[in-house]
A and B are shown apart, each in its own frame.
Chain A
Amino acid sequence: MTTTEPAPNPAEEAAEEERPIGFGRLLRKEDPRLIRGMGNFVDDIQLKGMLHLAILRSPMAHARIVSIDVSAAQAHPKVVAVITGADLAEQGLAWMPTLSNDTQAVLATDKVRFQHQEVAFVVAEDRYSARDALELIDVEYELLSPVINVRKALDPDAPIIRDDLEGKTDNHIFDWETGDEAATEAVFLNAEVVVSEEIIYPRVHPAPMETCGCVADVERVSGQLTLWCTSQAPHAHRTVYALVAGLPEHKIRVIAPDIGGGFGNKVPIYPGYVCAIVASLVIGKPVKWMEDRTENLVSTGFARDYVMKAQIAATKEGKILAVRSEVLADHGAFNGVAAPVKYPAGFFGVFTGSYDLQAAHAKMTAVYTNKAPGGVAYACSFRITEAVYMVERIVDCLAHELKMDPAELRLKNLIKPEQFPYTTKTGWVYDSGNYEPAMRMAMDMAGYEELRREQAEKRERGELMGIGVSFFTEAVGAGPRKDMDILGLGMADGCELRIHPTGKAVVRLSVKTQGQGHETTFAQIVAEEIGIPPEDIEVVQGDTDNTPFGLGTYGSRSTPVSGAAAALVTRKVRDKAQIIASGMLEVSVADLEWTKGSFAVKGDPSKSVTIQDIAMRAHGAGDLPEGLEGGLEAQICYNPENLTYPFGAYICVVDIDPGTAVVTVRRFIAVDDCGTQINPMIIEGQVHGGLADGIGMAMMQMIAFDEDGNCLAGSLMDYLIPTALETPDWETGHTVTPSPHHPFGAKGIGESATVGSPPAVVNAIVDALKPYGIRHADMPLTPSRVWETMQGNHTPPI
């Protein structure tokens, strides 16, 4: 079932004052606290006797550490401790596992492998002194030649970065492949049209407003560690600390307080966290580490960095037959990718997009370079950003070759509604979809035909206007425990619901909001199922001592996994409530009818009890039905049966000044389908943010390096984030195609727009440059890169 609805009109929205008990537009419960500056972020935490930690980082990308002299730093009057890699090595803590089962240096012992790698740390009475003392540490380095160009990483004479790994003789990390190579080759051999293009998704960074940090407090007597941390996945972090540091898991409490943006940047465990824990353990006082903006940009989880050779095969009429690709993936100095174990390339396998193909194949090689580790972040849905960008770009290249309208080409090839559930040629089972109405809605909202007419007129006059289309399918909600785990931890989520005697509720989640609005959304899910108003439902999250186990918030998994858990746990409570109601109304359970908030006797609505009445009875003194325990609460652990597959159709309109090559994004139309909508306002907010990110990636962002491996993006003056002036008024719309396997039909929405928007922007810019015969240009399409492309001098960014 698909229902379509245009974007709400703002006047209507303002008039809408009724607060939904369940799904609907509702102001966010967390906002009064956040917008008044009364949030509680890691850096707000002050503990008695708390010390401050600062990290000394390597100025070079690849160098052997000859010696470290910390004596002057130790002599600083306010310094409490100076620790080097050698000190950690004595405790067996110099290395830690990454989320991809590689190892990463906490502090470098032998050599440094990327610029700004952690070399030593200082703990001091205040953060100024800690920072000052870093300058007193004297490190002697012996420079090694770095591997910066990813294309040269596997050259036989390339320096070996990971000589710490037993028997490592090259910079190779893994090869991966999906689909049917022979079948794909056969289709390509016979295809009338084949188009190839090298498509690059440069290295970018999520740059959350709040940088990463923690406060570690190890209590000397009990050995209890409390870690306040910028973590998107507190439970997973706790278990990893237990495994790495050998601390007993019940003595570790990870608290993620308010978080100022994550986007995947706060999924990994960073050396700084480990350093702070070690420092607190050694010194016996609480220790705070908060990285600065530069440290965040240059050393923490980056995103993308894929060089993708893409090929598409089609008939002359524009029937797409097959897609294949060969990818070279730059993972930096340590493989720190956060992805399910069986998916080293994340979910790149969905590169077949939204099209009905005969065959598909991809192979990938991942390599080490002397750059910061990471790879999966920036709202990428485990590499679907790269996959969708590649397929949506190569489809546009095909349209260019066939001289076909790109929207028409897509319409011709979209998977049909009756084909769902649709198994792709790489084995993904798309749960539900109805693509054409979404595409048509976007085209109607844009006035597509009229835009093309305007463009034709402008081209006559030498003006440059472009219209870019993208259609994407996302795969979110990791994931079924049969084949998804991170470091051996299954990706199922627990949830606990307790109804208090007065009918107020508290729901405890394993996921953790970083701004997505969980306090509101999850209250609405419970409200929808049990009829208690959202304001009467407390959402507890981000504290491992007070919430059930689960893997955290990333990959748009909160609603598909924990949202399902919240609905199901509420249904479980409601089932019990029904039994209690049957006792109260003296009828059998089967004779009761549920209307949101109360049970009534079938055929006699005057005989009813509210959920609040039932809650009081559950805890009260009166009799309960035979065999029933008191209380009204439940706990479950939800294991998703499949991922959910949101989708959307995006259209971007740009104008380019032919004299300066400056691109203006004039309009952006986004039609999203994330199944059943919980809070349309929050959904629009998620979409708006992702669209702005997409403009950032497409037009201005890149973590670039010079040939020595110096990172050139160490500040927000160098690494640009778009402002309101670069972004148009977003035009959003939606269709609703529920997920058949999710308890209430919802799919994720957190990353749809970052996945879908970059190709729409790039396709629009390339479309505008059509008069120059341009078929492809790589991000970031800064004015300079656009101008060079216009001159026929397009060069790949890496």
Chain B
Amino acid sequence: MQVPAPFEYERATSVEHAIALRERLGEEARFVAGGHSLLPMMKLRLANPEYLIDINDLSELFYISEDANEVRIGAMTRHRDLLDSELLAQHFPIFRDAEKVIADPVVRNRGTLGGSLCQADPSEDLSAVCAALDAACVIKSTSGERVVSMADFHVGPYETAVGDAEMLTEIRIPLRPNSGSAYEKVERRAGDWAIVSSGAAVWMDGDVIANGRVGLAAVGPNTTSIETVSAALSGAAPSEELYQTVGDIAAANCSPQTDQRGTAAYKRHLAMELTRRSLRRAVARATGQEA
């Protein structure tokens, strides 16, 4: 049995309470959401926080809702609920694609959207999903709240814009017409982290792509969307050549490392191949050719 170092523990009763605790306890304190990244690190003693602030009682952070302009997801929404949500499946099928291949049911029953983004693991899938969907993150502190884009949210591997006395509370995804999205992941085994994955989202204007975004996971320190991809997609008519071009751009704009999951060359190849595939499916969905 792997056992963590000693720590103190408190259950927060509200978002305000949680933030106040965090502010008081400082950098030695951590929120625990689903615990499926934090607890394994504590058991391996790679993380040794002195205090854990449990935010699992904060029912105000469990929701998926929509209005005319956007879909809002509470930070404590679990993988399982993202997978099951018909609302997300209807607007952003990329979520269900991704959730089907994130970890395993046991992890999905506990792990959360907020925890996934805040963990900022370079191989983490939901950051790629959110980057492709042009999501924004709501960060709260005692002095109020701010909204940052995914590009600004990710500061580096395992590093985000969320400060020591702040909390991620919500993810907002803009609703735009004629959209389609899809996620492709290659893993060594079910439940493993991605060797590479690629999420794509497109918004059509008639026969052409008005706007498109691609987010890659596990091919570099940061999971953000690729600007040059968006430039190549905007105003272009969908075609196999376009997917190839964009796939090539994706491959050229990442910085994979050779490790136990694969060689850098293979990962770069996957960035291309999976981007082609995710784009193809995103367009098919946007144009009603595939659910």
A contact residues vs B (CB 8 Å cutoff): 43, 127-128, 131-132, 135, 290, 292-294, 659-662, 700, 704, 712-713, 715, 717-718, 720, 722-723, 725-726, 782-784, 787-788, 791, 793
A784 in contact with B2 (CB, 8 Å):
no
Known: A290-B1, A660-B274, A784-B266. A718 touches B260 (CB 8 A): yes
Known: A712-B260, A784-B262. A662 touches B186 (CB 8 A): yes
Kindly list 19 other residue pairs between chains A and B, CB separation below 8 angstroms, not including A292-B1, A782-B261, A784-B267.
Answer: A128-B6, A132-B6, A135-B45, A292-B2, A294-B2, A294-B44, A659-B277, A660-B186, A700-B188, A713-B260, A722-B189, A723-B189, A723-B191, A783-B186, A783-B195, A784-B263, A787-B262, A787-B269, A788-B266
B262 in contact with A720 (CB, 8 Å):
no
Chain B residue numbers with a CB within 8 Å of A784 are 195, 261-263, 266-267
Among B44, B186, B192, point to the contact of A720 (Cβ < 8 A): B192
Among A293, A712, A720, A783, point to the contact of B2 (Cβ < 8 A): A293
Annotate B14-40 by CB proximity to A: 1 below 8 A, 0 otherwise: 000000000000000000000000000
Chain A nearest CB from B113 CB (Å) reads 21
B270 in contact with A660 (CB, 8 Å):
yes
A–B complex contacts, Cβ < 8 Å, 17 sampled: A128-B6, A131-B3, A135-B5, A292-B1, A293-B2, A294-B2, A659-B277, A660-B270, A713-B260, A715-B44, A720-B188, A723-B104, A723-B191, A783-B186, A783-B262, A784-B266, A787-B269
The SS class assigned to the A binding surface is loop
- B125 part of interface (Cβ distance < 8 Å): no
A213, closest chain B residue (CB): B1
Chain A residue numbers with a CB within 8 Å of B270 are 660
| Complex-state Cα separation, A700 to B2, whole angstroms | 24
B188 in contact with A783 (CB, 8 Å):
yes
B195 in contact with A127 (CB, 8 Å):
no
A784, closest chain B residue (CB): B262
B3 in contact with A128 (CB, 8 Å):
yes
B contact residues vs A (CB 8 Å cutoff): 1-3, 5-6, 44-45, 104, 186, 188-193, 195, 260-263, 265-267, 269-270, 273-274, 277
| Complex-state Cα separation, A661 to B195, whole angstroms | 12
| Complex-state Cα separation, A135 to B4, whole angstroms | 12
Chain A residue numbers with a CB within 8 Å of B263 are 784, 788
| Complex-state Cα separation, A72 to B182, whole angstroms | 55
| Complex-state Cα separation, A697 to B266, whole angstroms | 21
Chain A residue numbers with a CB within 8 Å of B3 are 127-128, 131, 292
A783 in contact with B190 (CB, 8 Å):
no
Chain B residue numbers with a CB within 8 Å of A725 are 189-190
B5, closest chain A residue (CB): A132
| Complex-state Cα separation, A725 to B270, whole angstroms | 22
Chain B nearest CB from A141 CB (Å) reads 19
Chain B residue numbers with a CB within 8 Å of A726 are 189-190
| Complex-state Cα separation, A660 to B5, whole angstroms | 41
| Complex-state Cα separation, A726 to B192, whole angstroms | 12
Chain B residue numbers with a CB within 8 Å of A290 are 1
| Complex-state Cα separation, A346 to B127, whole angstroms | 50
B189 in contact with A788 (CB, 8 Å):
no
| Complex-state Cα separation, A720 to B195, whole angstroms | 14
Chain A residue numbers with a CB within 8 Å of B45 are 135
Query: Which residue, B45, B189, B274, has most C-beta atoms of chain A within 10 A?
Result: B189
| Complex-state Cα separation, A718 to B189, whole angstroms | 11
| Complex-state Cα separation, A290 to B1, whole angstroms | 7
| Complex-state Cα separation, A537 to B193, whole angstroms | 48
B184, closest chain A residue (CB): A660
Chain B residue numbers with a CB within 8 Å of A128 are 3, 6
| Complex-state Cα separation, A782 to B188, whole angstroms | 6
Chain A nearest CB from B143 CB (Å) reads 38
| Complex-state Cα separation, A131 to B104, whole angstroms | 29
A720 in contact with B1 (CB, 8 Å):
no
A127 in contact with B186 (CB, 8 Å):
no
Among B262, B269, B273, B277, point to the contact of A782 (Cβ < 8 A): B262
Chain A nearest CB from B253 CB (Å) reads 20
Among B190, B265, B277, point to the contact of A723 (Cβ < 8 A): B190
Chain A nearest CB from B86 CB (Å) reads 25
Query: Which residue, A135, A660, A712, A723, has most C-beta atoms of chain B within 10 A?
Result: A660
Chain A residue numbers with a CB within 8 Å of B190 are 723, 725-726
Chain A residue numbers with a CB within 8 Å of B265 are 788, 791, 793
A725, closest chain B residue (CB): B190
Known: A128-B3, A712-B260, A782-B262. A717 touches B195 (CB 8 A): no
Known: A660-B274, A784-B261. A127 touches B266 (CB 8 A): no
| Complex-state Cα separation, A782 to B1, whole angstroms | 29
Known: A292-B2, A662-B186, A782-B188. A787 touches B266 (CB 8 A): yes
Chain B residue numbers with a CB within 8 Å of A127 are 1, 3
Chain B residue numbers with a CB within 8 Å of A720 are 188-189, 192
Chain B nearest CB from A376 CB (Å) reads 25
Chain B residue numbers with a CB within 8 Å of A704 are 260
